[in-house]
Every structure is written in structure tokens, then in C-alpha cells.
Structure 1
């Protein structure tokens, strides 16, 4: 379905011929085969009006909208938008209208959108040159009755809130599970999707649900460590009988918070956990003694018991790799970036929030040790990332277009999945430095919004035939 990026000009009613509400250049009319002087629909976001189209003398890609129609659609004057025409529905679409949904506004030195302020500005600014009407909003800014939203746009060097049409596409950046799980939030999200809004990265991921989903995909399962739900003392006992080291991870955790490393050394056991100032170690002569210490900390929420891996390290510190996988302009998964992350102070995690640092992939692999097998390449890490993104999409419900995929490598050179994150950080200072050009990850988000505008109804994404054919039958 073809589309053209056009300039939008809003003019007074007196400037239009009688009965005409929309004027387009002959170039646009011929390219999209838009009928003239007959009723058609004009849609922007989720707002639609009826109008008649005429051509006007212009050699450029410009459309003129009568002021009263523009006001009904809440289309700002002087912007650029993409235009496409659907002959079956006799409807002209202008857009896409792209909203970034956040939890709330902040009063902070970083800006009104908190630590994501730089990212939000970059999305809204980068959208302009691609013919996208982008804005930032909260659920409280939605007006369901009038199909509008009070969105924040960057205008003349400052954030300005304007009444805008409901978006075609929403990128969910709600900052916590609590915000997502509020009754009001879920009600809004269901209604948005019901009304045809493409709502992607619609929820946080649960580690156990991701593990179960990927376990059903034959190609993905070799990258998964042994993982079980914590169901009491025997869960840890059984795991330690199989492996000398296991990790306890919150099923809904993030930023490395609440992770414990349990090590069996002969008849003694130790527990490690990380704080901002370093690693804390506790020694126990019996496993029951260790469990008595841990039980109050891990029994109140869902925990996983996971196989400890003999991973390569850098200077004795943990190393993993954060791959950012995103849907591209054709709706397929691609790796936008991949970096190595090195923990500090012999921490058990490498998260940047815990003092970790970012290094290029090739440098990280070159600096890591010990190696008893062949080192993987950056290309291999990227291929595994795409496979895992496709596998998750094939086996889990939900629309996702951006995933943070954490990988690690053991001393034999084998690649393992540590975690998949549906809300990759947008505030890592090592990555999100001020820059004049739009960063690649933002470009990918905007290109995917255009893809959804061009190909409505394809928001469920791409699932390779090979993955659909090789899914294991789940036990009933």
C-alpha cells in the first residue's frame, strides 16, 4: 500500500470552492488514485470526517484542509504527515499518529518526563521529518468520549500540551507493573486495542512465563538454563544436587534487585547478593541454615531457581551482553545494537544500575576469560537475539516491537539467555548522551510506526514458518 509524505496547510473556509473540504495536488491525486468531487472519508489517528476532494494548482506534495475540518480532526497546521488512500473503504488516511504512553509527569532536573525526558524529546523531534505526528501522554490525558488526547509536543523550544486525535499506534512506556496493573489502566488499554489502536510492548514480562514459552520452541530451548519455580526448600535442594551453583531470581524482578547466588562447596553453602556498594557474602554449614536465612526474603514473592553457569568474566567481574532487538520498517525483528556489560566490585550482576559499565562487544569478548572453547562472534550473538525475539513472539500473547535481550557466554563459548526485558532502559547515561542526530533505536521505533500505518492489521508481527512448525506440544 503506497503512501506519500505531504505538507499540511490549514486554510479558511472562504479559500475553498463550494462543497470542497480538502484540496490535493494533481501529483498526489494521480499517484494514489483518489476520486474527486465525491464523498470520501478522511481519517487522522482515530478521528474520521466525511469530505469531498478537489485538486489545486501545485507542483509539490501539499494538501490543504479546510479549517473547520482540521479542527474536527485536531490536525496542527504546518506539519508533515504521510497520506495513503484505501480504495475499498474509500478513505484517506493521514498519519501515523504515534503516542508514547508514560506513567506521570515529574518535577525533576532531568525534565518533566523524568529520566526519559531526553528520549521523549528525541522521539517527538525525530518524528517530524518522517511525517509522523508524535506526542507524549498519560492515561489521564485521554478523552474517550471525544476520541482525543491532550498530548505533549516539542514546539518552539519547549513542551506544549495540545488537544490531538487518538493515536494509531501507542508505545507503552508505563514505568512499573503497578502502573500497568491498575484496574483503570487495563480498562483503557483494552478499549484502545478494541478500537483498533496498535498498542505495542503492552506489558512487562514475567521470567517464568518467558521461560515456559521459549521452552516450547525447539530452536530456542538450547539457550535456556535449567529453571524451576521456587516452591520451598526442596526446590533449592534439588537444584544444588544437580549444579554446584544456582541463582534465585524474582520472577517479576528488574535491575538485578533481589538476586541471590547460592554456592555448594563440599558440605558448606554460601549466599551472595549485590548492593550498590558491592557484594555481600554469608556462609552456612548446612543448607537448612541457609534456607532459614533466605526464606523470609524469597517467600513473599515469586522466585525462580536457575542453574548457575560457568561464564567468562572480565577481571573477575561478571560479563553479559545486552542486545536491543526491534521491529524494522518491514515489521521483522532486527538487532539495533548490542553491547557488553561488565559488573563492578565482583558483583553477581552486571546491570548498569548496580555500577556496571558498557564496553563494545568485540572488546568484551577479547578481554574475557577463561576460554576452553571457541569464542562466539558479535554476529552469532545477534543471530541468537533475533531467534529468541521471533521465538517469544511465536509462543507468547501480546504485541511487542522492542526487546532488551540479555545474553551470556560460558567458558566453552556457548551462548545462554539470561533475561528478556519488554521495557529496555531509556535512561542509561552511557548510552543516552546528548547528540545532534536521532539515535538508531528511535529511528526504528518511528519506522515501525510507519509500517503499521502502511500495513494496518499486521500488528501481531512476523512469525517464521520454521518456528510455527517446530513448536513442541505442551503437556496438558
Structure 2
């Protein structure tokens, strides 16, 4: 089943019978029956039976009665849509519908606030419009059983509220774990499953689950730092064999609430961030150290992780973020990669904590011989893809996008640090306001693939 891009032009029909006019060129490419006079036109879950006539135009043009346009919840203005024809059901499918689920705030009475993914959503919308896909953003609400959804579509750089066709695929970009555990989210996913609508990245993965999944793959074991769930007994025993340990909340993100414990001649040092300030506190005994950590451990579950002697740049630890996406053939590809150096005095490289973004090649050149760089870059890329494959295979649900954090120690050995199911969109910024980065294109292409596979199976 092939999609064709066609210009859809609305017109006023003064007769009571709904009608579409299709150019001979488009009818031929869609392989419509020669003497067809009636068909069903469909956009997502909305259908309408209408008359059809051919018109002598060489371009791919479809003129649509405005009554049809309103029934299908299509945009009012002239627009390009992707179209496909199913001969068995005599149905013309128009405009694949892609929707992104996220939290939507308000800047003022008329302007919505998409927070850190505003530019990313605009890129998705612009690219969708360029190739003929209906794209919009929406948030959780209580009405999922309708054939339309209240959402926001982009027009002239502004998000406009409208009733829009029910999505044929949903990309989950909710930022808060509490929203994913809400009754509204549960109702939405139940409805999507009932109607067999694909959705991806439907849940966060915690750090312990990720570690267990990767540790189950023997070939990845050499790249995993020693990791376990936190306990006071384990903290004490590990500090006998490791000079540095990290405590990370299993549901943490953006480098927050991470503690670094170092063994010293006088006892121990605890480093952490507090109100954007780096704090370093000495403790003479393991008992005193645990007393300080105890309130944090009671609030949330932590993992304990072996400290690594990582590459540093100007005294700042460096790691590497590889953004991976599923392609049309369902195989993973790397769409972007970047190095991140922590801010001076910090041990976390997240941009949210003041980290600096650098090119992978630039960082590697400061530590390795130029002749070694191609092999190191290849190894990092292959490792990121293996991690993405393993996580996608071992996890419930569908994942179409993952952020893989890797690092290299001073001996040149690569390590798997973390996997992000809702990776930051600040790491591969577009060159200008109208350019579209590869990661945004990859998401839309994957959505199109999921829709195509879904239509093919029906």
C-alpha cells in the first residue's frame, strides 16, 4: 500500500450530494477503477460515502466538497495530504494522522506552552505538513471514545485549537511519571489498544529495570558498571573495594538527586547538587555518612553504581549521548550523537545541570591518536545500537526513540551509563528556525511506517 502526496482543494458544493473531483493523473496513480462513480473516503476513524468524478488536470489534485472536509475533521485551508486507495473496500484513505501526547500549559489566554519540546513539536508539525501528514499535539483528558480529539495544530508558527481526527499513531512525550500512572492515561491506552492504534514510548523505564535487561545479555556485560539496588550493608561492603560510588534514584532524570561517595584517608566525602550549588561534605565514619543519606533513601529507591575513571576535559567528566530511532524497516539507527562535559566542579554532565555540549570527534581528539578515532566512533555507535535493540526487545510496549548515554574510561574502554525513553530535545538543535533535524524526521517516518503496517494488516 503506497502513499501518494496530493493537493486537496476545498470547494463549495451547491448540491445535496457530497462529491469529490479527482485529477486523471492522481486517479491513474492510485489505480482507481476506470468507471468508478462512488467510493468511501476515510480519514482515521471518520468515513463518508460520496460521488467521484475525474477532471482533466495533470497534477495530483483532489477537489473536496466542504461538507466532506467538515465530516472528516480536516483542515479548512488548501493543503497537501498523503493519500492511498484500498481497492477491496473501495476506500480512499486521506492524510495519515499523527499525534503527540504531552503536558500542555498556557503562556497566556491564547498561546500554549510546550515547555522544552516546543521547537521539536514545531519541527514535527512543519515536516508533517511538508510531506502531507496531519500532525497535532494533545494532552490527557476524559473523552477518548469519540472519533475526534481536541488538540492543537500548527499554522503560521502558531498553535491553533481545533477538533481533529482521531490519531492513527500516538507518540508519548509525557514528562511526568505521575501522568503515566493516572487513570486518564490508562483509559487512553485501553482505547488505543481496543481500536488497534499503535503508540510508542508509552512508559518510562527505571534505571534498575534497564540494568537488569542489559545484564541479561551476556555480550553487553563487559560494558556495564557494577550496579545493585542500594542497601546500607552493600554501601559499606562496596566501599571496601571501590574508591568511588554513585547513588542514583531509579526513577530520576536530568542528573537530579545523584550522590557521589568517595573514600578518603580521613573517611568519606559526599558530593551532590543542592539549589544549583555543588556541595562536598566530609564524614569520618560510614555511620555518619549513612545518617546523611538516610532521609533521601527513605523518599525514593536508589541504585548503587561503581564509579569509573572517565575521560575528562579540562578537569570535567565527559559522556556521550547517542540518539537512536527505529527506521521504516523497524531497525534502529543513530540519528545524532554529541559529547557532554559537566560544568566545572560538577560530576554530572546533563545540560539541565549546567553541562556543555561538544562534538564527539572534538572530545576524542583531545585524548586519542587520530588514527584510533574511526574505530572508537564505530564502537560507540555499534554499542548504542546494540543497547537500543536489547531494550526494545526486552521491554513491554513499542519504543521508537531512545537516548543512550555512553562513556569512555582513561584506558579507552566504553561503558553503558544510562538509557532514556524520553530523551532531551536540546542536544541536537536545528540550524535555523525552519530547518528540521534528523531526529524529528526519523520520528515522523517511523509513525508513517507504523500506520502503513497497521493499514496493511486490516
1:188: how far off?
A: 1.4
Alignment-derived partner of residue 303 in structure 1: 302
Counterpart of 2:22 (choices 21, 24, 31) is: 24
Q: Is the 8 A contact 1:320 1:340 kept in 2?
A: yes
Distance 1:169 1:49 in 2: 21
**Where do residues 9-408 of structure 1 align in structure 2 (5 Å cutoff)?**
9-14=9-14, 21-35=19-33, 37=36, 40-76=39-75, 77-107=77-107, 112-140=113-141, 143-230=143-230, 232-265=231-264, 268-275=267-274, 277-368=276-367, 377-408=376-407
Comparing 310-319 with 321-330, which one deviates more in the overlay?
321-330
Q: Is the 8 A contact 2:18 2:68 kept in 1?
A: no
Alignment-derived partner of residue 451 in structure 2: 453
Distance 1:106 1:326 in 2: 30
Q: Secondary structure, in 3 states, of the residue corresponding to 1:149?
A: strand
Q: Is the 8 A contact 1:279 1:345 kept in 2?
A: no
Distance 1:62 1:433 in 2: 33
Distance 1:398 1:214 in 2: 17
1:3: how far off?
A: 1.7
Distance 1:28 1:291 in 2: 72
Aligned residues: 451
TM-score (norm 2): 0.90
Q: Is the 8 A contact 2:44 2:168 kept in 1?
A: yes
Counterpart of 1:440 (choices 421, 438, 441) is: 438
Q: Is the 8 A contact 1:278 1:346 kept in 2?
A: no
1:41: how far off?
A: 3.5
Distance 2:332 2:102 in 1: 24
1:399: how far off?
A: 1.2
Distance 1:404 1:101 in 2: 19
1:276: how far off?
A: 5.6
Q: Is the 8 A contact 1:95 1:453 kept in 2?
A: no
Comparing 397-406 with 248-257, which one deviates more in the overlay?
397-406
RMSD over aligned CA atoms reads: 2.6
Comparing 69-78 with 431-440, which one deviates more in the overlay?
431-440
Distance 1:60 1:457 in 2: 26
Q: Is the 8 A contact 2:430 2:436 kept in 1?
A: no
Distance 2:31 2:440 in 1: 33
Q: Secondary structure, in 3 states, of the residue corresponding to 1:445?
A: helix
1:363: how far off?
A: 0.7
Distance 2:412 2:58 in 1: 60
1:401: how far off?
A: 1.1
Distance 1:5 1:276 in 2: 52
Distance 2:382 2:301 in 1: 31
Distance 2:294 2:456 in 1: 46
TM-score (norm 1): 0.87
Distance 2:431 2:112 in 1: 15
Structure 1 residues 194 and 349, CA, compared in 2 at 3 Å: closer, same or farther?
Answer: same
